[in-house]
């Protein structure tokens, strides 16, 4: 099995890194192939590549804040928190693998009205 793990904890990178490492290790002990993204606003280049997302059998998102799930449309996805994921990593992975559901694609009709309107930001300066 090939899974992609995404962790995001805006209150502290420690729980993101810890969750990513412990879950990846538990998955690898099972013989699963993993790729990991620890979301970090200072390093957006560390995101999973589109190829890694496409190759994953399912996605695991462990976070304490919002995560943009649009790029996972069409993939099986399970979302949880670090507290739930780390309490019993092996049991959690079993549950996540069986309960992961296909992430629907968002269309413009799914967006709030304000998001459908084109937005322009203009900055001018005169000496």
Phi, psi of 47 (to 5 degrees): -70, 155
What single string gives the DSSP state of each residue in 62-88? EESS----GGGTTSEEEEE-HHHHHHT
Helix (H, G, I), strand (E, B) or coil at 125: coil
Q: How far apart are CA 15 and CA 17, in angstroms?
A: 6
> Which residues are marked as active site?
9, 126
Specify the residue for token string 């799914």: 110
């Amino acid at each position: 099995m090939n899974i992609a793990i995404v962790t995001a904890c805006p209150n502290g990178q420690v729980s993101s890194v810890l969750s990513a490492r412990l879950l990846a290790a538990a998955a690898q002990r099972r013989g699963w192939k993993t790729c990991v993204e620890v979301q970090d606003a200072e390093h957006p280049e560390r995101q999973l590549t589109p190829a890694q997302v496409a190759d994953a059998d399912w996605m695991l998102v462990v976070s304490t804040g919002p995560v943009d799930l649009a790029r996972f449309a069409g993939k099986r996805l399970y979302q949880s928190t670090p507290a739930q994921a780390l309490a019993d990593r092996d049991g959690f992975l079993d549950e996540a693998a069986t309960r992961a559901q296909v992430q629907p694609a968002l269309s413009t009709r799914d967006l709030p009205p304000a998001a459908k309107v084109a937005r322009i930001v203009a900055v001018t300066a005169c000496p």
